[in-house]
C-alpha cells in the first residue's frame, strides 16, 4: 500500500508527543525513494497516454490519479513529520534553556541542529534589542509576588555565584532564600524547588 512508510513516521511522533525520538533518516529516505518511483512511473504513463490517445483502449488516467494522490499524501506526511519535530524542538529551547542535554542532541539531524542554533541566535538578538539593556523573556513567566523566594535544592549542584558576589554552595536538600530573578532559571531546570507555604 502507498504511503504506509510515511505514516509510520507520524506514528512515531504520536507515541511520544513531549519528547523527540531519534531522527529516522532511513525511513525518510525510503519515503523519498517511494515518491521518486511513483513520480517516474507517472511520467512514463503520462507519456504513453499522450501517444495512444487516438487509439481506443483503456485509459491510464485512473492509475496516474492514484499515484499522484499517493505522492501528495507522502509529501504531507514528510512535512508534518519535520514541522512537528521543530515545534517540539522550539518548546525544548524555552524549557531547557540555551543548552540541550547531550542525549537529546543525539536525536537531532544535522539540519535540526543548524536550525536550533539559528533560532537561539535570533532569540538572543531579539531579547538584546528590546528596551535599553535588553530583556530576558525566559524569566518571570508567572507574575512575581515577592522579590525573594524560598527554595530547596534537589541535586548537588555545586557553587553558585549571585549577582552581588556572594558564592553559595548548593547542596542537596539545603534550603535557601534567594532573589527570585536569579534562581528562576535553576528552578525551571529542575535544580531547585520553589517552596510555597
Residues at the site binding another protein, with contacts judged by CB under 8 A: 1-3, 7, 10-11, 13-14, 17-19, 41, 45, 58, 60-63, 65-70, 72-73, 76-77, 79-80, 83-84, 91-92, 94-96, 101, 103-104, 141-143, 145, 149, 180, 184, 187-190, 193-196
**CA–CA distances in Å: residue 127 to residues 81, 83, 89, 99, 171:** 30, 25, 19, 17, 32
Min dist. Cβ of residue 70 to another protein (A) = 7
Alpha helix (H) residue ranges in 97-173: 102-105, 110-129
CB of 50 or CB of 132, closer to another protein = 50
Judged by DSSP in three states, 140 sits in coil
CB of 22 or CB of 132, closer to another protein = 22
Q: Among all chains, which residue has been given the C-alpha cell 534562581?
A: 183
Min dist. Cβ of residue 188 to another protein (A) = 5
Whole-angstrom distance, CA of residue 60 vs CA of residue 40: 14
DSSP secondary structure letter of residue 21: P
Judged by DSSP in three states, 46 sits in helix
Min dist. Cβ of residue 89 to another protein (A) = 11
CB of 142 or CB of 165, closer to another protein = 142
Judged by DSSP in three states, 167 sits in strand
C-alpha cell at position 69: 494522490
Min dist. Cβ of residue 110 to another protein (A) = 22
CB of 145 or CB of 165, closer to another protein = 145
CB of 33 or CB of 129, closer to another protein = 33
Cβ pair 6, 78 in contact under 8 A: yes
Min dist. Cβ of residue 132 to another protein (A) = 26
Amino acid at each position: 500500500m502507498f504511503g504506509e512508510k510515511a505514516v509510520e513516521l507520524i506514528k512515531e511522533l504520536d507515541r511520544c508527543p513531549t519528547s523527540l525520538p531519534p531522527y529516522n533518516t532511513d525511513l525518510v529516505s525510503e519515503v523519498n525513494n517511494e515518491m521518486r518511483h511513483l513520480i517516474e512511473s507517472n511520467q512514463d504513463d503520462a507519456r504513453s497516454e499522450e501517444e495512444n490517445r487516438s487509439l481506443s483502449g483503456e485509459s491510464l488516467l485512473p492509475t496516474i490519479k492514484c499515484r499522484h494522490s499517493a505522492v501528495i499524501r507522502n509529501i504531507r506526511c514528510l512535512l508534518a513529520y519535520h514541522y512537528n519535530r521543530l515545534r517540539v524542538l522550539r518548546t525544548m529551547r524555552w524549557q531547557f534553556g540555551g543548552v540541550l542535554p547531550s542525549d537529546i542532541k543525539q536525536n537531532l539531524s544535522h539540519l535540526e541542529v543548524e536550525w536550533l542554533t539559528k533560532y537561539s541566535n535570533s532569540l538572543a538578538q531579539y531579547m538584546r534589542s528590546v528596551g535599553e539593556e535588553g530583556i530576558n523573556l525566559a524569566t518571570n513567566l508567572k507574575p512575581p509576588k515577592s522579590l525573594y523566594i524560598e527554595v530547596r535544592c534537589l541535586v548537588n549542584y555545586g557553587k553558585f555565584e549571585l549577582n552581588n558576589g556572594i558564592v553559595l554552595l548548593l547542596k542537596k536538600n539545603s534550603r535557601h532564600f534567594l532573589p527570585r530573578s536569579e534562581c528562576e532559571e535553576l528552578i525551571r531546570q529542575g535544580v531547585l524547588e520553589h517552596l510555597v507555604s
